[in-house]
Structure 1
Amino acid sequence: RDFLATAAVVRSMLGISPSAWEEAQTVLGETPAAIVVACILQRGAAIRSAGGYLRGLTRKAEAGEFSLGPILMSQINSHLNEKRRA
């Protein structure tokens, strides 16, 4: 529950509109939408429009072309690469 509440706050900080958030929650589900927002936050400046990015992923999910697996693996690999560089 705390994770979902935090994602709602972060969503606002990232400039993701309430309508984009609600649509993502409806299409992806509450927890997967929150995971996507967390991943968007982690990518920071690499994503120019967090709301547009979330809407794009929501459209892909509607078409059956989106899975959380690749986005989570990308985050894991990015984290591992940062550790290697440190």
Structure 2
Amino acid sequence: MLTNTPTGRIIEEEIRVLLADTLDDDPIGPDDRFGDLGLNSLMLARLVIALEDETGLDPFSGDTSIVDVHTVGDLVGAYERALASRDEQPEPTEDAS
């Protein structure tokens, strides 16, 4: 079950929105592969776009590649690393000159 983290909840919710007519009420787990859930590559792209809109993050603009993401847990990890990386960045300071 992914609902133990905010990122997991967002990703599970967006997957359920995409697969509303085909996904039953079973929990989505981190080891679930996208194809097993019914997500094809186009739907995965739509999921990433929806998640970027929802989170403001693009986890695939750095070291992580979308081809390295095979399971829901991989996707959660990519977003959590991007979130941690963003949170570690210093706030830009305004130059008062």
TM range (shorter): 0.3 to 0.5
- Structure 1 length-normalised TM: 0.33
Instruction: Specify the structure having the higher radius of gyration (Cα).
Output: 2
